Amino acid sequence: MDPNLQDLLKRYNEGSASPEEKRQVEAWYLSIGEKPQLIDQEILLAHFSEGKHEIQQLYKTKRIRPVWKNIAAAAVVLVFIAGAYFMRGVDTASDSQLVAKDSIQPGEETAIFSMANGEELDLKAMVAGATLHQGGVEIVKLATGGIQINQTGADELQPSTIKTPKGGEFDITLPDGSLVKLNADSELKLLAGYNKADRRIDLSGEAFFDVQKSSKPFVVRTAKQKVTVLGTQFNIKAYASELETTTKLLRGSVKVSSNVSGKEVLMKPGDQIVNKNDELLLSSKEKQQIDWVDKEFVFNEKTAEELMNDIARWYNLEVEFENDELKTKRFTGRIERYSKLTKVIAVLEATEVLNFEIEGRKIIVK
């Protein structure tokens, strides 16, 4: 293999490739993917063996379990080298199956705003620059696609809710100037009196917060915990369907307290707390990155069940595992969040661990 190409693929796999290099690699993938019938199968098999051997050599110092399984699970790049998607997916999938996969697009910016009086507003349908006044609150649709909530009256803010569906995300600028990025299938509630004595919100699902500094505490409550800050950047993942609530801090400091035991932990940048079975498990020196905010799926020793839950929420899918043992298989790597489902499936099938069948909006993991 060309040493320059080998170096490029290695950097892409590690996430250190420049934006232009990423575009080059992905353009290569797409150009092959559009014309699989033009690629000789013997050549693909040769590339498969060559890629397997070379990547094993590159990563052999990290070998804990079979390297090929690790790297194949981790890298979009192996789809390029091995051609696994073309050898198996194109030969075995029916035309209708391929069409079904290709018709499933990634999520988009959409949400519903519910007011205290029960009225609902489709935020996706608002045009840029449009405003709505309701009970001392002004909602402005921004050119970037999100909304800004302004307090226009002297009365305290009434409670309101912003909810994203599966396959949706949305940016909200709160009355104090704090920014919230709401992930798919999530709900954010502004409690009555927001920004009066404090700034209290409830969260179900996942959100990234960039909190403006203020003497008024910013408090996020979830089903299992409470996070208190003054000004900082952090992410909370607290889906009701998952056993763990994860808090990750990028900047500033936050205090996490358990709703059950009352135990408190003070976090510093780079810290992550996993709240599981009422235990606050702290880890440090985490990467200063929130994958979905950076438009990626980044999975570090994630189980197949965790990974498929994230994918299902973003692509608005129902997931079914044919074999429960597959749920505990672990994977490490990254996939672009705005890729078509076909590309995501190709990457995961290249692991030779998972296979998929699409039935409407149900994805069956085999």
User: Which string of DSSP letters, residue by residue, matches 136-183?
Assistant: TEEEEE-TTS-EEEEE-SSSPPPPEEEE--TTEEEEEE-TTS-EEEE-
The pLDDT of 223-245, averaged and rounded, is 94
- Residue 273 and residue 281 in contact, taking contact as beta carbons nearer than 8 Å: yes
- Report the b/e string of 320-352 with b at 16+ CB within 10 A: ebeeeebeebbbebbbbbebbbbbbbbbbbbbe
Q: Specify whether 112 is located in the same domain as 236.
A: yes
Q: Specify whether 118 is located in the same domain as 239.
A: yes
- Assigned domain for 288 exists: no
Q: Please say which residue of 38, 72, 102 terminates a domain.
A: 102
Q: Specify whether 13 is located in the same domain as 78.
A: yes
Q: Of 13, 31, 32, which is closest to residue 22 (Cα–Cα)?
A: 13
Structure tokens of 166? 């599966």
Q: Specify whether 114 is located in the same domain as 244.
A: yes
Domain extent for 192 = 108-221+228-248
- Assigned domain for 272 exists: no
Q: Specify whether 69 is located in the same domain as 84.
A: yes
How confident is residue 339, by pLDDT bands cut at 50, 70 and 90?
confident
Percent of the chain with pLDDT over 70: 75
pLDDT score of 30 more than 60: no
Domain total of the chain: 3
- Assigned domain for 264 exists: no
- Assigned domain for 285 exists: no
Taking the C-alpha atoms of residue 96 and residue 320, their distance in angstroms, rounded to an integer, is 20
Q: Specify whether 213 is located in the same domain as 180.
A: yes
Q: What is the reported pLDDT for 52?
A: 43
Taking the C-alpha atoms of residue 319 and residue 18, their distance in angstroms, rounded to an integer, is 34
Structure tokens of 154? 């002297």
- CA triplet 142, 144, 145: central angle to 5 degrees? 70
Phi, psi of 324 (to 5 degrees): -60, -25
Q: Specify whether 144 is located in the same domain as 202.
A: yes
Taking the C-alpha atoms of residue 78 and residue 117, their distance in angstroms, rounded to an integer, is 53
CATH number at residue 185: 2.60.120
- Assigned domain for 205 exists: yes
Q: Which long-range contacts link 214-222 to residues 24+ away (Cβ below 8 Å)? A: 214/176, 216/176, 218/178, 221/259
Q: What is the reported pLDDT for 157?
A: 83
3-state secondary structure of 258: strand
Locate tokens 């002297």: which residue?
A: 154
Q: Specify whether 143 is located in the same domain as 198.
A: yes
- Assigned domain for 152 exists: yes
- Assigned domain for 253 exists: no
Q: Of 89, 139, 78, 59, which is closest to residue 334 (Cα–Cα)?
A: 78
Q: Specify whether 244 is located in the same domain as 125.
A: yes
What is the number of other CB atoms lying within 10 angstroms of the CB of residue 243? 10
The pLDDT of 61-88, averaged and rounded, is 35
Q: Specify whether 53 is located in the same domain as 147.
A: no
Q: Specify whether 98 is located in the same domain as 112.
A: no
- Assigned domain for 286 exists: no
Q: Of 171, 91, 167, 183, which is closest to residue 126 (Cα–Cα)?
A: 171
- Residue 164 and residue 170 in contact, taking contact as beta carbons nearer than 8 Å: yes
How confident is residue 275, by pLDDT bands cut at 50, 70 and 90?
very high
The pLDDT of 46-74, averaged and rounded, is 41
For all residues of the chain together, what is the average pLDDT? 79
Q: Specify whether 98 is located in the same domain as 162.
A: no
Q: What is the reported pLDDT for 346?
A: 85
